Structure 1
Amino acid sequence: MPATNRDELLAVTEKEYGKLMKTLEDIDAGVASAPGPEDGISIKDTLAHRAHWIDLFLGWHKDGKAGKTVQTPAPGYKWNQLKDYNEKVRQACRAETWPDILERFQGRHAELLALLRRLDETELYEPGRHSWTNNWTLGRWAEASGASHYRSANKFIRKTLRDL
């Protein structure tokens, strides 16, 4: 069930991040870079993807606050093209090292938390406050880009570790 207020959002974001970081704590670069058994997607790919989507959310928020047109999910892409977009993101990150991706993910998480702590309840959960969020509140978008993505990444990574 999605968070319905700022305190719940902060709590679930920190909780899911903590679980994910616990799973990642003993993973070395070799394991992180190994192609996943089912689809070839590595743990490194997965974490780079999650960092990228936090970047997207932060960019959407920044553009919206500046009165710019917010292009979701990304310029030139529609929601029904996510498979292609996500593959493009994975390819762009392939040359990066595991420590660099892990550091970037941790940094983006810190930026997300800092933003959530700065925003008040109205900014996060008043329906219709942000034109680009459509039927969702900003808080729901933040949860989808943060806690929900952390949860799914953790599930995927744990399965990948078992399968490897």
Structure 2
Amino acid sequence: MRSYESKEELKNEIKKTFEKYISEFDNIPEELKDKKVEEVDRTPAENLAYQVGWTTLLLKWEEDEKRGIDVKTPSDNFKWNQLGELYEWFTDTYAHKSLNELKEELTKNVANICFMIDELTDEELFKTHMRKWADGATKTATWEVYKFIHVNTVAPFGTFRTKIRKWKRIAL
């Protein structure tokens, strides 16, 4: 997994990969947002719903810990061995929205994640055992907060961009 030397480097990578990812939806007509193609596992709406879901959870984990709430990862209603059900919940909760609404919500979440990065100290972001939610989210590994940010932004923006590009080649 990639490491980062500073908050700015992390935020720049998030912004760069996000802009590439989100721009892929610019030429998808709204009436095709739910179109399934055999070669791709998610529709455009499901693709965005997944991203909205994970970024929303990431922000919730941090906000709940700041409020003194015991954080349950990945969510209050799902355990790590229930990710399939969690992804269905993301689809049920978000995919009915328009592509523009989903893009706006994801854009807002990304901006809030960048704000969260600014609010964290370097120690909180780059050292282990600085957030209970980060410690509780992994059973065998010890992850710094920045790794959770990376795997919920930079990494999926890249892999899901590839998926939506493939969807566009087939469906458009």
Q: TM-score, normalised by structure 2?
A: 0.86
Partner of 1:104: helix, strand, or coil?
helix
CA shift digits 1:2-24 (9 cap, x unpaired): 23332331121111112112322
After TM superposition, list the pairs within 5 Å mapping 1:11-160 onto structure 2. Answer: 11-38=12-39, 41-134=42-135, 135-160=142-167
Conserved? CA contact 1:36–1:43, under 8 Å: no
> How far 1:39 moved relative to its partner?
5.9
Cα RMSD, aligned residues only: 1.7
Partner of 2:146: helix, strand, or coil?
helix
Conserved? CA contact 2:20–2:161, under 8 Å: yes
Higher RCO (CA-CA < 8 Å; seq separation 6+)? 1
> How far 1:86 moved relative to its partner?
0.4
Distance 1:57 1:86 in 2: 15
Q: TM-score, normalised by structure 1?
A: 0.90
**22-31 or 146-155: bigger deviation:** 22-31
> Percent identical across equivalent pairs?
22
CA shift digits 1:67-116 (9 cap, x unpaired): 21111001131112101110122122243222211211111111111211
Partner of 1:73: helix, strand, or coil?
coil
Conserved? CA contact 1:20–1:154, under 8 Å: yes
Query: Structure 2: where are the runs of 5+ without partners?
Result: 136-141
